[in-house]
């Protein structure tokens, strides 16, 4: 009788594990392929060889790139090289990506930048917020951008128990931001278990020097985040649920869900077209290829444009798609004055004139 019970429990456990495995493959879109949607007048950006996970563009056309992200679960083309912040002036006829110098006292050897966001204060001071993973831990770094010197002055490092697995960030003040946690846990094994079991424990946190609080939760894996042009709404990408959440922002900085847009791809970082308010999304058509890297069958890339996201029926169009032959693992797309930049998790970056 005891053996029969043990076999029954083992069978149930194996069945549950099998069901979770199949569910994870579905969340990763493991069997999806894309047909190419090409753009004219595109070229790979020289100097970006190991990823530009996030891109943020100032109103004057200066674009910042977060490059060289390392993650235990991801491939890297430069595993021994620290990350950095590059800048490109999109007003130039042939813009080049240049690495910004960072002030002394900041540990460049452990710099592992992820999501980024800029904030322009009332006195025109430009702050750059960077999600950083030194030794795979979690901090938010605040820099002051000094344009004349092409440099970043490090101002502050932020750590907090409510920021255990930070992915992306949107700055709303000189020391104020919303951030996504893509996992509830910080331990690598628990992160894997959380994802496998599909616990939906990830969240959005609001941080200020006076208050830190969870303002939205229940996501499968909260990822990219951005804010509407009128500052009334926060957009959050839930990468493994294939969704973009539209959240209303209140005066006390709390968020309430307004709507959810379901898509057929893994949605990563979100950018806003300043001329139209459209949302541009860097996407992963097949997430399994990201984590099980095969140079003969590399991860593909996809960029979506979402028009009228607040309406009952937003218009979703594919701006760019590639099977990995040109660009592998697109994570972000940003636009400025008919120029499109596409970054990736660990590959190259693309510059296109639209």
Residues contacting residue 147 through CB under 8 Å, at least 6 positions apart: 62, 126
User: To 10 degrees, the CA torsion angle through 132, 159, 192, 260?
Assistant: -80
> Using DSSP, how many helices (H) and how many strands (E) does the chain show?
3, 25
d(C-alpha 259, C-alpha 129), whole Å = 28
Residue 279 · residue 244 · CB < 8 Å = yes
d(C-alpha 197, C-alpha 288), whole Å = 16
**What average pLDDT score do residues 188-194 get?**
91
d(C-alpha 27, C-alpha 42), whole Å = 31
Arithmetic mean of pLDDT over the chain: 94
Pairing of strands 101-102, 98-99: unpaired
Instruction: Write the pLDDT tens digit of every residue in 23-36.
Output: 888 999 999 999 99
Question: What confidence score (pLDDT) does residue 23 get?
Answer: 84
Instruction: Write the pLDDT tens digit of every residue in 69-126.
Output: 999 889 999 999 999 999 999 999 999 999 999 999 999 999 999 999 999 999 999 9
**What average pLDDT score do residues 167-184 get?**
98
Residues contacting residue 25 through CB under 8 Å, at least 6 positions apart: 31, 288
Is 168 known as a binding-site position? yes
Instruction: Write the pLDDT tens digit of every residue in 272-305.
Output: 999 999 999 999 999 999 999 999 999 999 999 9
pLDDT of residue 327 exceeding 80? yes
d(C-alpha 280, C-alpha 306), whole Å = 6
pLDDT of residue 21 exceeding 90? no
Question: What confidence score (pLDDT) does residue 19 get?
Answer: 72
Percent of the chain with pLDDT over 70: 95
Give the 3-state secondary structure of residue 9.
helix
User: What positions carry a catalytic annotation?
Assistant: 114
- Phi, psi of 293, rounded to the nearest 5 degrees: -75, 130
pTM over 0.85: yes
Q: How many residues does the chain have?
A: 354
Question: What confidence score (pLDDT) does residue 11 get?
Answer: 54
Domain boundaries, the chain: 32-353
Question: What confidence score (pLDDT) does residue 9 get?
Answer: 54
pLDDT of residue 16 exceeding 70? no
d(C-alpha 323, C-alpha 89), whole Å = 29
Instruction: Write the pLDDT tens digit of every residue in 201-219.
Output: 999 999 999 999 999 999 9
Question: What confidence score (pLDDT) does residue 14 get?
Answer: 55
Rg (CA), the chain: 20
d(C-alpha 277, C-alpha 66), whole Å = 23
Is 167 known as a binding-site position? yes
Percent of the chain with pLDDT over 90: 89
Instruction: Write the pLDDT tens digit of every residue in 305-324.
Output: 999 999 999 999 999 999 99
Class of domain 32-353: mainly beta
* pLDDT level of residue 238 (50, 70, 90 thresholds): very high
Give the 3-state secondary structure of residue 245.
strand
Pairing of strands 151-158, 101-102: parallel
Is 54 known as a binding-site position? yes
């Amino acid at each position: 009788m005891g053996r029969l019970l043990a076999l029954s429990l083992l069978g149930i456990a194996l069945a549950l594990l099998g069901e979770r495995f199949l569910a994870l493959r579905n969340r990763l879109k493991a069997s999806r392929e894309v047909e190419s949607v090409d753009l004219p007048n595109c070229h790979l950006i020289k100097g970006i060889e190991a990823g530009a996970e996030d891109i943020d563009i100032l109103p004057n056309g200066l674009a910042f790139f977060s490059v060289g992200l390392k993650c235990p679960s991801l491939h890297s083309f430069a595993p021994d090289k620290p990350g950095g912040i590059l800048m490109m002036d999109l007003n130039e006829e042939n813009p080049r990506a240049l690495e910004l110098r960072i002030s002394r006292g900041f540990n460049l050897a452990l710099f592992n930048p992820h999501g980024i966001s800029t904030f322009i204060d009332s006195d025109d001071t430009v702050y750059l917020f960077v999600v950083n993973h030194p030794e795979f831990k979690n901090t938010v770094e605040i820099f002051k951008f000094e344009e004349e010197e092409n440099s970043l002055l490090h101002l502050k490092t932020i750590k907090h128990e409510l920021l255990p697995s930070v992915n992306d960030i949107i700055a709303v003040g000189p020391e104020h931001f919303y951030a996504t946690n893509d996992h509830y846990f910080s331990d690598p094994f628990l992160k894997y278990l959380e994802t496998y079991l599909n616990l939906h424990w990830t969240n959005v946190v609001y941080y200020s020097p006076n208050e830190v609080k969870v303002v939205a939760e229940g996501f499968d894996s909260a990822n990219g985040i951005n804010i509407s042009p009128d500052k009334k709404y926060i957009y959050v990408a839930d990468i493994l649920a294939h969704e973009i959440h539209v959240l209303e922002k209140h005066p006390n900085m709390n968020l309430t869900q307004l709507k959810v847009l379901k898509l057929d791809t893994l949605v990563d970082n979100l950018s806003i077209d300043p001329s139209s308010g459209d949302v541009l999304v860097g996407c992963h058509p097949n997430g399994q290829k990201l984590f099980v890297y095969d140079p003969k069958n590399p991860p593909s890339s996809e960029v979506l444009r979402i028009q009228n996201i607040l309406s009952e029926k937003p218009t979703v169009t594919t701006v760019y798609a590639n099977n990995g032959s040109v660009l592998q693992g697109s994570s972000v797309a940003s636009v400025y004055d008919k120029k499109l930049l596409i970054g990736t998790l660990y590959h190259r970056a693309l510059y296109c004139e639209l």
